[in-house]
Amino acid sequence: MLGVLRKLFPSRKKTKDEIIAELRATINKFTLISRRYYNRAVDSRDNAKKYLKQGDVGTARDQLKRWSKYLTHFKRYQRQVDVLEDTIESIHSAEDAVEMQKALESANMLLSKSVDILTLDKAIETRLETQDLINEIESKQEELSRVLELGVEDESSIDRELEKLQSEVAVEAAVSLPETPTETPLELSERERIKKEVEELKKKLSEENLEEKE
């Protein structure tokens, strides 16, 4: 019965444009999901910093665990988006390869008048086919490697992030110290020098935190 239904209502193969449209829709979906995880990671880190300022190190560490989890999910979906985008590029490249194959076949018909030239053309065609297979295998291996990389954070990364937050809180506390009006010009100059060093340290910590996220 199933075979009869298939003959009466054969399944239509999807066109290239339909396939690419589905891939792009999936890319948009995964991009939105990855952004949600990224925003949650940012909020968790901000909360950890808030609790750390209140002296609640335990809750701050719990918030950093959430930050680590959300950041892992964000990276995973970003890798999936990369794979889908590479797939679309591969489809376009495959079309170019088909056109090149047709051009080579037309050339073969002209070159068939000479055995020597035909033999040379066959060698070129075989070499091209072999190189295409090698490129395809390497591309699949790269895609598989990206998908399998889960980027799981360990406890040491939590400790490092906690230390950074503690340093940021200490720097902000030092910057916010009130100036006493009874200080001498020399003492005021020394205070300005210390505040400048603290600002430079805070800037350095921010740059290191940005580099680690990238």
Mean pLDDT for 204-209 is: 66
Distance CA 17, CA 153 (A): 39
* Span 95-113, average pLDDT: 72
Position 56 scores a pLDDT of 92
Buried b vs exposed e over 168-186: b needs ≥16 C-beta within 10 Å? bbebeeeeeeeeeeeeeee
d(CA 109, CA 106): 5
State residue 14's pLDDT score: 80
Provide φ and ψ at 177, rounded to 5°.
-65, 130
State the Cα–Cα distance between residues 85 and 76, nearest whole angstrom.
Answer: 14
- What is the gyration radius of the CA atoms in the chain, in angstroms? 30
Q: Give the count of alpha carbons within 13 A of 197, CB side only.
A: 6
Report if pTM > 0.75: no
pLDDT per position as a tens digit, 144-175: 566 545 444 557 778 888 888 888 887 777 66
| Mean pLDDT of the region 134-138 | 73
Average pLDDT value for residue range 129-157 = 65
109 has a pLDDT exceeding 50: yes
- Four-residue CA torsion sign, 65, 36, 49, 72: positive
Percent of all residues in the chain with a pLDDT value above 70, rounded to a whole number: 60
Calculate mean pLDDT across residues 86-101: 81
Alpha-carbon distance of 123 to 33, in angstroms, equals 49
Q: Which tokens is 132 given?
A: 């295409």
CA end-to-end span of the chain:
57
User: How many CB atoms sit inside 10 A of residue 51's CB?
Assistant: 19
Give 25-83 pLDDT, tens digit per residue. Answer: 999 999 999 999 999 999 999 999 999 999 999 999 999 999 999 999 999 999 999 99
Cα separations in angstroms, 127 against 16, 46, 91, 93, 134: 28, 57, 22, 18, 11
Q: Is 87:172 a contact under the CB 8 Å cutoff?
A: no
Confidence of residue 9 (pLDDT cuts 50, 70, 90): very low
- What pLDDT was estimated at residue 97? 74
Distance between CA atoms of 54 and 48, rounded to whole angstroms? Answer: 10
Residue 2 has pLDDT above 50, yes or no: no
State the Cα–Cα distance between residues 143 and 80, nearest whole angstrom.
Answer: 9
